[in-house]
Amino acid sequence: MSITFLRGIRPTKALTAIATGGISLGIYSRMMTGSAHADSGSPPKMFGSGPAFVSLPLESSEVVNHNTKRLRFRLPDENAVSGLALTSAVLTMSWPKGRWLPVARPYTPISPSGIARYGFPDGKQSAHLHSLTPGETLLFAAALKGPAWKPNDVPHVTLIAGGAGITPIYQLAQGILRNSEDKTKITLVFGINTDADALLKTEFDAFEKEFPGRFKAIYTVSRPEAGSLLRQGHVTKALLEKVAPNPTKQETKVFVCGPPAMEATLVGTRGSPGVLEQLGYRKDQIHTF
C-alpha cells in the first residue's frame, strides 16, 4: 500500500518551535483506522503513539497546478496501514543540500496513496520535497495528534479553510463522510487567492454528489479569473452568517485552518474577539489545527 500527501503553507501549532516559517502537508487518508494489536492478525501500522522513524520511497510525483505536486510514497508492506487517527499529522525530517542539521516539518494526511505538496522555492524543505524523484526517500519521524473529533457529537459542523489549510480540513471531512455511523452534516467554506488554488475541488464535488444534503462546499476567491463561477471575496462574517449553522440556535462546532492572519480574524487574539465569537460561537465550539 502507499500514502498520498498534500503540501500546505503553515506548520502545525504543536511544532511551531521547530518548524517556524515552515509548511504543513496533507495526506488524503482512508487510513484513519482504529488501534490494533500486533498479534491480532490486523494489518501492521506505520504510526503509533511513539516515534516511527521510517523512510518511505517516493512512488510517483504528479503536478497538480502551478505550485502543487502530489507525491505518492510506498509503505514497506503492501498490507500495512498508517494507523493514524482522524485529524492527525506526521512529522517529516530531511537534510536539504547545504544544511548540516535536519529540517523537520509537519504534514497532514489526506489519502492512502501519496503526497501532494506546494512548492515554495525559498524554503529549504519545500525545495527538497519538490525535487524528489521516484525511488528517493523521505524520513517520517512520528505521528502528531490534532483536535479530537467525536462522531455525531453535533448535528452540523462548519469547516473553514484558507489556502493550504485545506489539507487537514479535507482529512476531517473525508473521515466524517466515510464513517457510515457518523451522520454529521458538513458545510465547507474555502478561501483562496485564485481559481487555480481550489485544491481538491474534484474530490469535494464528488462528496456533494455522493452525499447530497450532508455536504456543501462554498468557495470564495480574492482574485477570481475572468468568467469565474466562484464567489468573489474573503471569508467574512456576512458569508458565515449566510451559509453556516447559527450557533445560538443549535449545537454546532467549527474547525479552522488557514494562514495566521485569517485565523486571527476568525478566531480572535488575546483581548480581541474574532468573527466567530461575534457570531455567537463559544470557545469550546471553536477548534484550530
Asked if the structure places residue 236 within a domain, the reply is yes
Q: Indicate the residue among 113, 144, 175 that finishes a domain.
A: 144
| CA–CA dist 108, 164 (Å, integer) | 10
Residue 105 counted as an annotated binding residue: yes
Condensed to tens digits (0 to 9), the pLDDT of residues 168-183 reads: 999 999 999 999 999 9
pLDDT at 268: 96
107 is in an annotated binding site: yes
Beta bridge pairs of residue 72: 4, 60
Which residues form the domain of 262? 156-288
CATH code for position 138: 2.40.30.10
Examine residue 150 and state whether it is found in any structural domain, yes or no. no
Residue 259, all three cell numbers: 494562514
- In three-state secondary structure terms, 110 is strand
Instruction: Give 278's pLDDT tier (boundaries 50, 70, 90).
Output: very high
Same-domain pairing of 180 and 265: yes
Query: Do both 174 and 231 map to the same domain?
Result: yes
Q: Does the annotation list 106 as a binding residue?
A: yes
Indicate the pLDDT class of residue 11, thresholds 50, 70 and 90.
Answer: very low
Portion of the chain with pLDDT greater than 70, in percent: 80
Is 40 annotated to bind ligand? no
| φ, ψ at 54 (rounded to 5°) | -125, 135
Q: Are residues 137 and 174 both part of a single domain?
A: no
* 80 lies in the same domain as 178: no
The predicted structure's pLDDT at residue 73: 83
pLDDT digits (tens, 9 = 90+) for 231-258: 999 999 999 999 999 999 999 999 999 9
Same domain, 171 and 102: no
**In-domain check, residue 149:** no
Dihedral pair phi/psi, residue 166, rounded to 5°: -70, -20
Confidence of residue 68 (pLDDT cuts 50, 70, 90): confident
Q: Is residue 151 part of a domain?
A: no
Q: CA-to-CA distance for 24 and 262, rounded, in angstroms? A: 16
Which cell is 109 given?
494526511
Residue 201 lies in a domain: yes
Question: Is the model's pLDDT at 118 over the cut of 70?
Answer: no
- Find the helix or strand (DSSP H, E) in which 29 lies: none
| 138 in the same domain as 198 | no
Q: Where are the alpha helices (DSSP H) in the chain?
A: 16-19, 124-131, 166-177, 201-210, 237-243, 260-267, 275-278
Q: Give the number of domains in the chain.
A: 2
- Are residue 173 and residue 222 in the same domain, yes or no? yes
